[in-house]
Amino acid sequence: MSLVYKAFELLFERYGEQYWWPGNSAWEICTGAVLTQNTNWHNVELAIRNLRKIDALCPNRILAMPDLDLENAVRPSGFFRVKSKRLKNVAEWWLIYADKLHEQLRKNTCNVLFWRQSLLRINGVGEETADSILLYSFNLPTFVIDTYTRRAALRHFSMPNKCSYETLQQFFMENLPPDVRLYNEYHALLVRNAKENCCKNSCLPGCPLRELPGNLRLSKKSV
């Protein structure tokens, strides 16, 4: 068992299942992944609620909406003009490619790297958003790196301060089996722990990751 997996066990024992990412459809989850950039989840929920009220939680409706109406709907998520444009860009991609991706999933011929690069070509979609869409909307095995994951890696896994996204992602994926449910739950647990115990300015005494033994930097063993 890798120590990175041991960290997952400690987090799961403390917090239990997180039921993440919340959403009633793959597209709604994708919408949340776009809108959550640079804001908290409560604000995203308000924006999604606005979209639901006007029956706009589908890519066709997003593309058909006047820009001003979409901007007003997603306003609670902040940067509403930028995010409304990004949401339309992703909706356009979705209508072209989502069915093809689902077909490959059914046939078990899906290439994660290919679809990741496809998403990264969308204006406004970065690595974290692309990985969130792939993992949570399409159940593809890619590990999401965000501010909270980085905090845990630097503070508890002895990773260098200026690690790239790719380096951190590789670190987690080399230390874990390629399991979608595990990646899903692990990321959600790291977010929960960062908000409650492994805070921005200090790691509180109640943080379960304090129980990890030794240095995790070079742990490359599979579970």
Pair 51, 119 in one domain: yes
- Computed over every residue of the chain, the mean pLDDT equals 93
Q: Which of 137, 159, 187 is the last residue of a domain?
A: 137
Q: Assess if residue 69 is contained within a domain.
A: yes
Angstrom distances, CA of residue 219 to CA of 139, 151, 153, 215: 26, 18, 12, 8
Q: 194 lies in which domain range?
A: 3-18+144-211
Backbone angles phi, psi at 193, to 5 degrees: -65, -40
Q: Assess if residue 222 is contained within a domain.
A: no
Q: Assess if residue 216 is contained within a domain.
A: no
Distance separating alpha carbons of residues 154 and 149, to the nearest angstrom: 9
**Count of domains forming the chain:** 2
Residue 204, domain CATH? 1.10.1670.10
Pair 74, 105 in one domain: yes
Quick check: 213 pLDDT over 90? Answer: no
Note whether 9 and 207 are within 8 A (CB).
no
Q: What is the pLDDT of residues 167-178, one digit of tens each?
A: 999 999 999 999
Distance separating alpha carbons of residues 192 and 82, to the nearest angstrom: 28
CB-based burial of residue 174 (10 Å sphere; 0-12 exposed, 13-18 middle, 19+ buried)?
middle
Quick check: 223 pLDDT over 60? Answer: no
Q: What is the CB-side half-sphere exposure of residue 31 using CA atoms within 13 A?
A: 31
* pTM of this structure: 0.92
Q: What's the average model confidence in pLDDT over 79-93?
A: 97
